[in-house]
Amino acid sequence: MRRDRLVTWLLRIYLALIFLFVFVPIATSMVFSFNSDRFPSLPLGGFTWHWYDMVYKDPDTWEAIRTSLLVALTSSVLATFIGFCTAYTDFRYRFRFKGAYLALALLPPTIPLIILALAMLAWFSKIGISGRVGSIIVAHTVLCAPFAMAVIRLRLQQMDRDLESAAWNLGANELAAMRHVVIPFTLPSIISALCLTMAVSFDEFMIAWFVSGLNKTVPVMILEILQGNVDPRINAIGSFVFAVTVTLVVVAQLLFSAKTTTTRS
């Protein structure tokens, strides 16, 4: 009894420490984004919206946010589409070398980002499409598709195989069964895959930095500001990026867990 309580408490402390390590730096950055002092030091100066205002008025920021959103939206849609197709072939068919097929489909995130980024840059300049917004989209799609596949595949694994057959049996051809059964069933995971891949793309720095050329995304812009000097604008942008990604991930998580618990038949 007493030992159990001790273990419980130790685990609680451990958990608290983990959260502390993860969130204190982010919280610090957020706090300093409202601090009027130029240099991050204690005690804090007065409260200010000044840094947000500067960021807001800087056309470069808006340009970067526009590029980031365009890239995130497009590549998340493409990655989710590819991820869905891969997950569905895995669900539906059995074929030789399926193991290899799946391993290949899941490979990109396991490659060190810098290697992937360099390879992308080399390849894009070889075929002459480097330095465009399109090249970031292609590269992010490659990076994100495995995440989308993993999420959608989990949902498909919960699907009774008879559901699709039942649709055919009731007069649906393959396309109609896909539209009226498979997609509705996987819809929560499709939406959460969209959010998740959007978050990954929105956050991603390394590849974007290598292949973007003059089309800076938000993380690339942050680095460039940082290289110049210490600037509290970073804290403001950082807080904004954090809020966007956390929202996307939380939405993804809510959709996924809510739907999976309530729709079991």
Q: Which residues bind other proteins (CB under 8 A)?
A: 160, 162-163, 165-173, 176, 180-181, 184-185, 187, 262-265
In this complex, which beta carbon is closest to other proteins, that of residue 12 or of residue 180?
A: 180
DSSP letters spanning the chain: -HHHHHHHHHHHHHHHHHHHHHHHHHHHHHHHHTB-SSS--SSP--B--HHHHHHHH-HHHHHHHHHHHHHHHHHHHHHHHHHHHHHHHHHH---TTHHHHHHHHH-GGGS-HHHHHHHHHHHHHHHT-TTSHHHHHHHHHHHHHHHHHHHHHHHHHTS-HHHHHHHHHTT--HHHHIIIIIHHHHHHHHHHHHHHHHHHHHH--HHHHHH-TT---HHHHHHHHHHH---THHHHHHHHHHHHHHHHHHHHHHHHHHHHHH---
**8 Å CB contact between 186 and 155:** yes
Q: How far is the CB of 166 from other proteins (least distance, A)?
A: 4
In this complex, which beta carbon is closest to other proteins, that of residue 12 or of residue 161?
A: 161
Cis peptide before 219 (omega within 30 of 0): no
Q: How far is the CB of 192 from other proteins (least distance, A)?
A: 16
In this complex, which beta carbon is closest to other proteins, that of residue 46 or of residue 171?
A: 171
Q: How far is the CB of 218 from other proteins (least distance, A)?
A: 36
Q: How far is the CB of 184 from other proteins (least distance, A)?
A: 5
In this complex, which beta carbon is closest to other proteins, that of residue 14 or of residue 93?
A: 93
In this complex, which beta carbon is closest to other proteins, that of residue 5 or of residue 94?
A: 94
Q: How far is the CB of 196 from other proteins (least distance, A)?
A: 21
In this complex, which beta carbon is closest to other proteins, that of residue 111 or of residue 176?
A: 176
In this complex, which beta carbon is closest to other proteins, that of residue 73 or of residue 172?
A: 172
CA 21-243-183 angle, to 5 degrees, is 110
Q: How far is the CB of 96 from other proteins (least distance, A)?
A: 13
